[in-house]
Amino acid sequence: MTRIAIIFGGTFEEHPVSVKSAREVARCLDTDRYDPLWIKITRGGDWLLCAGPDAEDGRPVVLAPSGLLMLDDGRYEVLPVDVVFPVLHGRLGEDGAVQGLLEVAGIPYVGCDVQSSALCMDKSLTYVVARAAGVATPAFWTEPPDAPDYPVFVKPARSGSSFGVTKASTADELRIALEVARRYDSKVLVEQAVAGSEIGCAVLGDGDELVVGEPDRVALTHGFFRIHQEDAPETGSENATFIVPADISARSRDLVVETAKTVYRALGCSGLARVDMFLTPDGEVVLNEVNTLPGLTSYSRYPRMMAAAGLSLGDVIDRLVSLALTGKAR
C-alpha cells in the first residue's frame, strides 16, 4: 500500500479553500490503495498530523528526509512517506515554496515542480513566457500606466482565487484598486480588460502525454467571475454558472485545447494545471492565468471538466500519484 501524505491548509487567505479541497480528496481517495497521512498547516504555520481534513487538532510534525518526524513529549517517531500530495492553493503552497521543501527532503510529490510553480504563480512572468511561445495575452503593466485604456483589471501578481482583484474604469477606481491589490502582494499587475467569454481547460500529465478535460465556459449574469468569494459557493456562484462541455464551436474547442497544451508545456507544467483563457468574439484565444494546483472542492471547475471527459477525481488522483512515483512529473 502506498503511503501518501496530503498537506492542506496554509497560512494565507486560501486556507479554507484548501481544507475544502482536502475534504473532496478524502472522499475520493481509494483507501484500499493508499494509506493517507493528513497534514494540516494551521493559519499560524504549525504542521499537525490529523485524523482528517476536519480534525481540530493533531500531533506536531516536521518534514524530514524521506518522511515526517512526529514529535511527542520529547520523543520522536519517523513516519516514512512514499509520496506527498500538496493540496495547497496560493502563496507558500502553489508558488514553489513547499515544492522546494519537498525537493530538499527528497520526497516525490504530486504536481508542478519549483520552477513552473513559481512561474505560473507570478502572472506577469506567465505572460512573458506565454508570449514567447506565441500565445496571446492581455496588454499588461507591473507599474500603473499613466493613461490606460479603461477598463482595466488590477490584480496581486502572485495571489489566487480572485483575492484582491478589482475592475477599474476611472483614475479614482484605479487608485483604489491598487491599494486593494497591495494588501495581498507588493507586486501588482494592471491588465487590459479582454472582451470575450472565459474558458477553462483542465490538463493532466507530462510532456507529450497530456490528457485534457472537456473545456468549460463561465457564463456571467453580471460583474466578473470571483471564484471562492461567494458566501456559500457550494450552493452555486452568485453571478456565474459553468457550462461543461463549453457551448463553443468544434473549431474553437480545438483551438482552446491546443492553446492550453502549448501554455502548459511552455511553462514547464507537470502533473496537473488549469489553464484559463478568453475566447474573443472573433475566435481568438487569449491567456488569462494558469493554476498549478486548481481547486478540487465539490464545486471546483477542474474535477468537473475531467469528469465530463470520463475521469473521476479518484482516477485523477491515481494518475497523479503514478506520475510522481515514476518521476515523470519532475
- Residue 222's pLDDT is 52
CA distances for 93 relative to 121, 122, 251, 276, 306, angstroms:
10, 13, 36, 20, 23
CA distance 271 to 247: 27
> Cis (ω within 30 of 0) for the bond into 245?
yes
CA distance 31 to 26: 9
- Residue 329's pLDDT is 39
Mean pLDDT of 179-185: 92
Radius of gyration over every alpha carbon of the chain, rounded to an integer in angstroms? 20
Active-site residue identified among 13, 14, 15, 17 = 17
Active-site residue identified among 91, 155, 217, 228 = 228
- Residue 109's pLDDT is 97
- Residue 207's pLDDT is 85
The predicted-structure confidence for 201-242, as pLDDT tens digits, reads as follows 999 999 888 999 999 999 886 555 555 445 556 555 566 789
Per-residue pLDDT for 330 more than 70? no
Residue 223 CA neighbour count, 13 Å, CB half: 13
Alpha carbon 165 to chain centroid, angstroms: 16
Active-site annotation holds for 78: no
CA distance 68 to 78: 6
Mean pLDDT of 116-137: 97
Residue positions counted in the chain: 330
The predicted-structure confidence for 38-58, as pLDDT tens digits, reads as follows 999 999 999 999 999 999 889
Active-site annotation holds for 15: no
According to DSSP, residue 230 is labeled S
Active-site residue identified among 34, 127, 299, 302 = 299
CA distance 19 to 87: 8
Active-site residue identified among 200, 271, 295, 321 = 295
CA distance 181 to 166: 8
Q: Are 277 and 260 in contact (CB under 8 A)?
A: yes
Q: Are 261 and 104 in contact (CB under 8 A)?
A: no
Q: Are 309 and 214 in contact (CB under 8 A)?
A: yes
Active-site residue identified among 13, 14, 15, 20 = 20
Active-site annotation holds for 76: no
The predicted-structure confidence for 259-301, as pLDDT tens digits, reads as follows 999 999 999 999 999 999 999 999 999 999 999 999 999 999 9
Active-site residue identified among 44, 74, 234, 251 = 234
Q: With cut-offs at 50, 70 and 90, classify the pLDDT of residue 103.
A: very high
Q: With cut-offs at 50, 70 and 90, classify the pLDDT of residue 13.
A: confident
Domains with residue ranges and CATH for the chain? 2-109 (3.40.50.20), 118-136+195-326 (3.30.470.20), 140-192 (3.30.1490.20)
CA distance 97 to 188: 20
**Count of other CB atoms within 10 angstroms of residue 278:** 19
Rounded to two decimals, the pTM is 0.92
Mean pLDDT of 165-177: 94
Active-site annotation holds for 295: yes
Active-site residue identified among 40, 89, 253, 301 = 89
CA distance 39 to 108: 16
φ, ψ for residue 256 (rounded to 5)?
-60, -50
Checking 46-49 for CB contacts under 8 A at 24+ apart, the result is 49/79
Q: Are 135 and 263 in contact (CB under 8 A)?
A: yes
Which alpha helices (H) appear in 38-113, and where do they start and end? Answer: 97-105
Active-site residue identified among 15, 91, 158, 274 = 274
Q: Are 227 and 162 in contact (CB under 8 A)?
A: yes
Bridge partner list, 72: 75
